[in-house]
Structure 1
Amino acid sequence: MSNPLLRELDHYVVLEPGGGERILTAAETLAWLEARLAKLEPVPADLVGLSSPGLQAQRLLETACELELAPGLTIQWFAVRIEPPG
């Protein structure tokens, strides 16, 4: 079960091999995950029953923090809280 506080966070740090780290909004992170899932074959077993890449990405965002794209090639994402300046 995911922590309900994570759903309140609006930003994520995403890590890709060779790509460094980036801070994305929640919507950008979902799109980033969808794009990675679209290229992945086969989709992880726990995502097969979900009807769209958007639902699959949402499930990953709520329940995981990494996805193996190929042996030894893993992407990761972590929720972060960005405090407004002040």
Structure 2
Amino acid sequence: MSDSLMFNNDAYVFLETDLPEQIFTSAEMSAKLKEIATKFADDLPIDVREITGIDERVRYLLDTICELNPSPGQYFQWYAIRLEK
């Protein structure tokens, strides 16, 4: 059985093309992914585009994907981190 603490995400490291890494709370990460999913809606992977609601898309991105490459030379990466033990 998996440890439920493994799925408690305190924060995320977010990487974006030509920008320094950023640390986001869960709410900030959701807002950032909502912005990306809206701006790059046509460039998302097909499994993400098939999800109709934006909140559902964001949840799917958080739960299953950690990188998007909407255009050549551009990337977004995010990783869950725990700030306290």
Normalised to the residue count of structure 2, the TM-score between the two structures is 0.83
- 1:50 deviates by 1.4
1:81–1:16 distance in 2 versus 1, CA, 3 Å = same
Normalised to the residue count of structure 1, the TM-score between the two structures is 0.83
Taking only the aligned residue pairs, the percentage that are identical comes to 35
Q: 1:7–1:62: 8 Å Cα contact kept in structure 2?
A: no
Gaps of 5+ in 1: none
**Where does structure 1 differ by over 4 angstroms across 4 or more consecutive aligned residues?**
3-6
Give the match for residue 27 of structure 1.
27
Q: Which has the higher strand share?
A: 1
Task: Tell me the alpha carbon deviations over residues 15-53 of structure 1, each in whole angstroms, 9 at most, x when there is no partner.
Answer: 011221111011110110110111112432001221212
Task: Tell me the alpha carbon deviations over residues 29-86 of structure 1, each in whole angstroms, 9 at most, x when there is no partner.
Answer: 01101101111124320012212122111101100110112122110000001017xx
Aligned-pair RMSD on alpha carbons? 2.0
Distance 1:16 1:43 in 2: 16
1:36–1:71 distance in 2 versus 1, CA, 3 Å = same
Gaps of 5+ in 2: none
Give the match for residue 45 of structure 1.
46
Give the match for residue 11 of structure 1.
11
How many residue pairs get aligned? The number is 82
Distance 1:71 1:51 in 2: 25
1:64–1:6 distance in 2 versus 1, CA, 3 Å = farther
